[in-house]
Amino acid sequence: MFEILEKRFLNDTVCEMQINAPLVAKKAEPGQFIILRTDEDGERIPLTIAGFDRKKGTVKIIFQVVGSTTEILKHKNVGDCLQDFVGPLGNATETEGVKNVCVVGGGVGCAIAMPVAEKFAKDKANVTSVIGFRNKDLVILEDEFKKASKELVVMTDDGSYGRQGNVCVPLEEMLASGKKFDKIFAIGPLIMMKFVVETAKKYNVPCMVSMNPIMIDGTGMCGGCRLSVDGQMKFACVDGPDFDGYKVDFDEMMSRNRMYADFERHKYEETCNLYKKEVK
């Protein structure tokens, strides 16, 4: 069993936990993920490794409450244990040889972008970070990005914090002004990554994206996380999660992700109602 050692909410819907998982912490690298189950009858869900401490044997996860399992996980407290915590899975983000990088994160995707930015900084790269949120109340990990970045730009859709607009606005400005990047790394909503890639293409800057499709087993056996990359089928769990953004079929991926929206909403509402009954 994997004990929850720390828990805190970063905003109303995003929670951070430190999990006792020494074997995972021993091998973990930024960009990789784990698959967990909250209990014996729980479903398997993938969550990116948001940090780790090899000496303490802990792994940090950050999740947004959007479905049934994350609602259950939200109600777990310090001292509680998770049934399964498997990993590290997937391939670590490649950072070697990059001198100037722009890390772009959107929403809870910043939980993935943050450890990647830290790894680039550790490898002596000049890191520029652009992070975007819908509004001020949803901003997370700003201090962590400041520590890892030479320059940080915070964007909100409504202008309630930082600059108003989406993440492509400052990215376009930087590239148009002649700022040079060896690579752009983007993670966030699919539509955001699609337009970050389109912006990068205008200036011929390589752009890597971290893909997080529907996933079940995390070992390439179920096929749930398949996506089209350069016309070929790839599995995010074993071939990724990082891919050349120029080659990803984002439209296909967005269409597939919408297939289970109604089912996920129904299960989430069902789980919420169970907790409401327990409170009464």
Identify the pLDDT of residue 216.
79
Check whether the bond before 88 is cis (ω within 30° of 0): yes
Identify the pLDDT of residue 269.
54
pLDDT confidence of 261, banded at 50, 70, 90? low
Identify the pLDDT of residue 1.
78
List where CATH 3.40.50.80 sits in the chain.
100-210
Report residue 211 as tokens.
């893909």
pTM of the model: 0.87
Identify the pLDDT of residue 260.
63
Identify the pLDDT of residue 51.
93
Distance CA 205, CA 79 (A): 46
Contact yes or no for 81/144 (Cβ under 8 A): no
Question: How many Cβ atoms sit within 10 Å of the Cβ of residue 267?
Answer: 16
Distance CA 31, CA 235 (A): 15
Identify the pLDDT of residue 119.
94
| CA-closest candidate to residue 42, choices 79, 86, 8 | 86
Tell me the residue type at 50: A
Which residue intervals of the chain are DSSP H helices?
22-27, 68-74, 110-122, 142-148, 168-176, 190-202, 236-239, 250-257, 261-279
Contact yes or no for 48/212 (Cβ under 8 A): yes
Residues 115-153: tens digit of each pLDDT: 999 999 999 999 999 999 999 999 999 999 999 999 999
Tell me the residue type at 213: P
CATH number of 2-89: 2.40.30.10
List where CATH 2.40.30.10 sits in the chain.
2-89
Residues 209-245: tens digit of each pLDDT: 999 877 777 777 878 788 899 999 998 888 989 999 9
- Tally the residues of the chain: 280
Distance CA 197, CA 31 (A): 19
Q: 3-state secondary structure string, 27-77? A: HCCCCCEEEEECCCCCCCEEEEEEEEECCCCEEEEEEECCCHHHHHHHCCC
Distance CA 184, CA 137 (A): 27
The average pLDDT across 104-122 equals 93
Identify the pLDDT of residue 266.
53
Residues 15-39: tens digit of each pLDDT: 999 999 999 999 999 999 999 999 9
Identify the pLDDT of residue 41.
86
Identify the pLDDT of residue 201.
95
Looking at per-residue pLDDT, the higher value among 232 and 264 belongs to 232
CATH number of 100-210: 3.40.50.80
- What lies within 8 Å, CB to CB, of 172 at 6+ separation is 199, 202
Measured CA distances, 191 to 8, 233, 273 (Å) = 29, 20, 31
pLDDT confidence of 268, banded at 50, 70, 90? very low
The average pLDDT across 246-273 equals 69
Residues 147-179: tens digit of each pLDDT: 999 999 999 999 999 999 999 999 999 999 999
Residue matched to tokens 């607009």: 165
